[in-house]
Amino acid sequence: MEFPLAILVGTFFSAAIYLMLSKHSVRMLLGIAILGNAVNLLLFTGGRLTREVPPIIGAGMETLPAGAANPLPQALILTAIVISFSFFAFLLVLTYRAYQELGTDNTDEMRLAEPKDEPMPPIGY
Amino acid sequence: MAATPSTPVDLSLAFILTPPPLGNWLVILPPVLMITLGAVLMMMRHATRLHGLVAVPGLAALVVLDALLLWKVAVEGPITMVMGRWLPPFGIAFTVDVFGALLALVSAMAALAAGIAALSDISETGRRYGFFPFLMLLMAGVSGAFLTGDLFNLYVWFEVLLISSFGLLILGSEREQIDGALKYALLNLLGTTFFLIAVGYTYAIFGTLNMADLAVRAREVSGAPLMTLAGLFLLAFAMKAAAFPVNFWLPASYHTPRLTVSALFGGLLTKVGIYALMRVMIMLFPVQHEAWSFVIGVVAFLTMVLASLGMLAQNDLRRLAGYAVILGIGNMLAGIATGTVSGLAGAVLYALHSILAMTALYLAVGRAAALSGQFTLSSLGGLYQRAPGFAFVSLALMLAVAGLPPFSGLWPKIMLVKASIDIGAWWLAAGILVSGFLSTVALGRVFLIAYWRPAPAQAEGKMPAAAAGPDRPGGSAGWLSFGPLVGLTVIITLFGLFPEAPMSLSQTAAIGLMEPAAYIGSVFPAGGRP
Amino acid sequence: MNTLIFRTIAPFLTALMLVFSVFVLLRGHNEPGGGFIGGLIAASAFAIYGIAYGVAAVRRALWFHPMAVAGFGLFVSTLSGLLSILAGVPFMTGLWITPHLFGVEIALSSVMSFDIGVYLVVVGAITSIALALEEKESD
């Protein structure tokens, strides 16, 4: 079961990297979103995949049933989802504001903080 | 529901049953204090006048707590507290050794200075946007990152400090800030995502994320793709620390916010990356670090030399200070590359110096701009005439940043050069010296032009007006902004004149990283590991 | 979006979602659910109300500023972690009391107050982001 997921994770990563290589901030944002999901899937796969053996200690049992998935990566994913969700929301607002304020979503043209024609410092006086 | 098990359960298999000594609470209190104060400040968001009155004593309390913690750790060795009294490695552990406590204390001092400077620098609008709550949460993230003993928890603290730094970065929502913040946010988020990938692989390989546990297991495991893992960690933390090929977000963004915010960022954020890099590469993966050390050395060399060239090429004082931050990162990386106790001690000492000196340098830039109304070297001038005391403080700071005696920059550089020569890496030593020389030239020119040179005629008329207006580009010129600057400079000077105590503490920190037996012993007191 | 049908339904939908969010929050103790997902449901309830009646109406209805709500949640969560200092156990250890009210055993714990804090943080933070986005659209 891990093999198809590994391929899926790889596909996600390549899509994310392709999108993030773009100049346009909206595409980069989408790339970041896909990257977050790729990492979550990766963590999920790292916790072993089994069918129909939930990691729950039933009544009268003292330990997990044999072959159950490791629940900890799922807890990690939950945290990571929360964090990536809030970052995505923040970045969405930021990108939107940047588009409004700067009038472009092309990062090549966002030269406000680093102007192209900045003079060299004086050599002496 | 508190489930009552049908069969009697031996609780000691899962829980720590002895109550923790009250002193151990010091481990958890710094981040908890900061989060609580941040929450309180968020609740009273309209009483902006009270923000400073809560935040500054809070930061002072943080300094006291961190000092107590350092004293306790230096005397008794590393201490641990595990959340929810689960036995380690199952519970999330907070473990503090001298390395973490030292950096936490010094960064709290820098934050206190920036907090006092903010009282006059951050306007009513900035406070309404939430400067002080964000400052508290930022410090929660920074202290948490320095004090935690769990890799995933470290990731969470990274994110806490990252999201509060976003908030601080776009405080005024000016166009320039949004431009800088977009690049900062995208690239830093990418860096933490790499960190998360590495954490995921770490768990997949070792089945634990507790640092003490990992330190033991990484030395036992063979055959796992640990080189790749260490490489991923290296990339992630190099991005956070602004090392050469992945550092272009720093000069693009650090000059855009208010100068007090820049001072905080320049002092603290990159050092958290350096801390994590040392913690992971030296303590957890020493074997892999050995193999990567040449790469780290080359990165360090390029970071230093290119940063010092960047300093020479900048006309804007704030961007020059940004390259000065990167220059320090290169020096620390050189210490990490050597992998010897003296090199690591040099890197730790440099980190302490850099936290204080960079915060002070940005504050000085802010004051220079407040006095003259601009940031560009080509139109600055006459600062010595206007404020001789401030010129004297600035000169001291510049000498410290360039690493000249008698200030704090000298000692770590000596240790780093010696450590590099000891392992035969003469090129690394040459890099440190050449970049130090170039930065001396760059900073010397700043002093010559901005301070010695008489004020240029064309700017003469508008200067007083610019300095008095409500939208001054720098901070205010009052004592409230000068005091912290003087305080930091005094600390830097004392640090340079009496380096024995910080030196021996850094030595202890480096030894603790190289031989983490005490660290592991504090997490697993009985010596038994499940 | 702003049809008569939607505007008539929206208050009921909001109220229903808020009740459901509290149910999910309290259910999260031993079953799927919890503070985060409950908070998201509540935040989307406010977002729906905002779409129907405008951002100003939501802010009036909330009374407190969303970020202040988030701050209060953070405060509650931290305090529930710190309670364990009084019991002599490490930070964030769950503490339980089970008072009997009208013959019913009610289990109260610091875990629950922590989760309520998380709920409030999520409600506050996500609502303030959603309201900021909705405000942008209207102007």
Chain C partners (3+ C-beta pairs within 8 A)? A, B
Is C126 in Cβ contact with A89 (below 8 Å)?
A: yes
Q: Is residue C10 in a domain?
A: yes
Q: Is residue C21 in a domain?
A: yes
* Strand partners for B95: B80
Chain A partners (3+ C-beta pairs within 8 A)? B, C
Residues from chain A that touch C123, judged by Cβ atoms under 8 A, are none
Per-residue DSSP letter, B19: P
* Lowest-confidence region among B317-321, B367-371, B377-381, B496-500: B377-381
Per-residue DSSP letter, B22: G
Q: Is residue B182 in a domain?
A: yes
Distance, in Å, from the CA atom of B58 to the CA atom of B33, rounded to the nearest integer, reads 8
Extract long-range pairs of A103-112: CB within 8 Å, 24+ residues apart: A105/A24, A105/A25, A105/A26, A106/A23, A106/A24, A106/A25, A107/A23, A107/A24, A107/A25, A107/A28, A107/B182, A107/B183, A108/A23, A110/B179, A110/B182, A110/B183, A111/B179, A112/B175, A112/B176, A112/B179
B217 CB contacts (<8 Å, ≥6 apart)? B206, B208
Per-residue DSSP letter, B246: G
User: Across chain C, how many H-helices and E-strands are there?
Assistant: 6, 4
pLDDT reading at B24 higher than 90:
no
**Cα-based torsion angle of the residue sequence B38, B42, B43, B44 in order, rounded to the nearest 10 degrees:** 100
CB B146 within 8 Å of CB B100: yes
Residues from chain C that touch A96, judged by Cβ atoms under 8 A, are 133, 136
pLDDT at B105: 95
Is B152 in Cβ contact with A76 (below 8 Å)?
A: yes
pLDDT at B246: 87
Q: Does C67 touch chain A (CB under 8 A)?
A: no
Instruction: Report which listed range, B212-221, B467-476, B501-510, is most confident.
Output: B501-510
pLDDT reading at B264 higher than 70:
yes
pLDDT reading at B50 higher than 90:
no
Is A113 in Cβ contact with B179 (below 8 Å)?
A: yes
Q: Which domain covers residue B268, as residue numbers? A: 17-523
Alpha-carbon separation of residue A107 from A20, A34, A102, B71, B195 (angstroms): 12, 20, 10, 49, 25
Distance, in Å, from the CA atom of C6 to the CA atom of B309, rounded to the nearest integer, reads 62
Q: Which amino acid is at C104?
A: V
* Lowest-confidence region among B38-42, B168-172, B327-331, B440-444: B168-172
- Higher pLDDT among residues B460 and A96, named by residue: A96
- Higher pLDDT among residues B76 and C101, named by residue: B76
pLDDT at B17: 78
Q: Does A42 touch chain B (CB under 8 A)?
A: yes
User: Across chain A, how many H-helices and E-strands are there?
Assistant: 3, 0
pLDDT at B470: 40
- Higher pLDDT among residues A51 and B104, named by residue: B104
Query: For chain A, what is the mean pLDDT?
Result: 84
Q: Is residue B4 in a domain?
A: no
Alpha-carbon separation of residue A25 from A98, A108, A110 (angstroms): 9, 10, 10
Instruction: Report which listed range, A93-97, B22-26, B275-279, C27-31, is most confident.
Output: B275-279
Residues from chain A that touch C125, judged by Cβ atoms under 8 A, are 86
Distance, in Å, from the CA atom of B459 to the CA atom of B463, rounded to the nearest integer, reads 6
What are residue B260's phi and psi, to 5 degrees?
-65, -40
Q: Is residue B119 in a domain?
A: yes
Which class for B150: exposed (0-12), middle (13-18), buried (19 or more C-beta within 10 A)?
Answer: buried
pLDDT at C54: 87
Distance, in Å, from the CA atom of A85 to the CA atom of B260, rounded to the nearest integer, reads 29
Distance, in Å, from the CA atom of B109 to the CA atom of B121, rounded to the nearest integer, reads 18
Q: Which domain covers residue C31, as residue numbers? A: 4-82+112-138
Number of neighbouring beta carbons within 10 Å of residue B490 = 12
**Cα-based torsion angle of the residue sequence B185, B190, B194, B197 in order, rounded to the nearest 10 degrees:** 100
Q: Is residue B317 in a domain?
A: yes
Interface test with C, best of B43, B51, B127, B153 (most C CBs within 10 A): B43
CB B412 within 8 Å of CB B372: no
Q: Is residue B530 in a domain?
A: no
**What are C38's two structure tokens?**
């409950």
3-state SS class at B86: strand
CB B113 within 8 Å of CB B487: yes
pLDDT at C136: 64
Nearest to B178 among A59, A70, A97 (CB): A97
Residues from chain B that touch C70, judged by Cβ atoms under 8 A, are 42
Nearest to A113 among B204, B252, B378 (CB): B252
pLDDT at B321: 92
Is C88 in Cβ contact with B19 (below 8 Å)?
A: yes
Distance, in Å, from the CA atom of B309 to the CA atom of B277, rounded to the nearest integer, reads 25
The domain tally of chain C equals 1
Q: Which residue of C has its CA nearest to A81?
A: C36
pLDDT digits (tens, 9 = 90+) for B383-404: 888 888 888 999 999 999 988 8
pLDDT at B303: 94
Nearest to C136 among A82, A86, A96 (CB): A96
pLDDT digits (tens, 9 = 90+) for B331-344: 999 999 998 999 99
pLDDT reading at B275 higher than 50:
yes
Residues from chain C that touch A82, judged by Cβ atoms under 8 A, are 36
Q: Which amino acid is at B292?
A: W
Alpha-carbon separation of residue B307 from B100, B183, B277, B322 (angstroms): 27, 19, 20, 9
pTM for the structure as a whole: 0.91
Residues found in chain A: 125
Alpha-carbon separation of residue B89 from A117, B81, B92, B211, C98 (angstroms): 55, 11, 7, 9, 30
Distance, in Å, from the CA atom of B62 to the CA atom of B143, rounded to the nearest integer, reads 9
* Strand partners for B96: B79
Query: For chain B, what is the mean pLDDT?
Result: 87
Is A112 in Cβ contact with B179 (below 8 Å)?
A: yes
The closest alpha carbon to C89, from B337, B15, B70, belongs to: B15
Is A96 in Cβ contact with C133 (below 8 Å)?
A: yes
User: Does ipTM come in above 0.90?
Assistant: yes
B453 CB contacts (<8 Å, ≥6 apart)? A125, B381, B382
SS3 content of chain B, % helix, strand, coil (to 5): 75, 5, 20
pLDDT at C29: 77
Distance, in Å, from the CA atom of B184 to the CA atom of B250, rounded to the nearest integer, reads 7
The domain tally of chain B equals 1
- Phi-psi region for residue B223, left (φ > 0), alpha (ψ -120 to 50) or beta? left
pLDDT digits (tens, 9 = 90+) for C95-127: 877 778 777 777 788 888 999 999 999 999 889
* Lowest-confidence region among A33-42, B234-243, B478-487: B478-487
Q: Does C133 touch chain A (CB under 8 A)?
A: yes
Distance, in Å, from the CA atom of B373 to the CA atom of B317, rounded to the nearest integer, reads 12
pLDDT at C135: 75
Q: Does C129 touch chain A (CB under 8 A)?
A: yes
pLDDT at B529: 55
Number of neighbouring beta carbons within 10 Å of residue B330 = 26
Shortest distance between the Cα of B315 and any Cα of chain A, in A, equals: 4
- Kindly give the parts of chain C with pLDDT less than 50: 139
Nearest to A93 among C36, C125, C132 (CB): C132
Q: Does C125 touch chain A (CB under 8 A)?
A: yes
Residues found in chain C: 139
Q: Which domains does chain A have, with CATH numbers?
A: 2-51+69-109 (1.10.287.3510)
CB B102 within 8 Å of CB B513: no
Shortest distance between the Cα of A53 and any Cα of chain C, in A, equals: 17
Pairing state between β B93-96 and C96-97: unpaired
Pairing state between β C96-97 and C100-101: unpaired
Report the Cα B62 to chain-centroid distance in Å: 16
A100 CB contacts (<8 Å, ≥6 apart)? C136
Q: Does A33 touch chain B (CB under 8 A)?
A: no
CB A29 within 8 Å of CB A112: no
Q: What average pLDDT does range B168-182 have in this prediction?
A: 85
- Dump the DSSP string for B288-303: HHHHHHHHHHHHHHHH
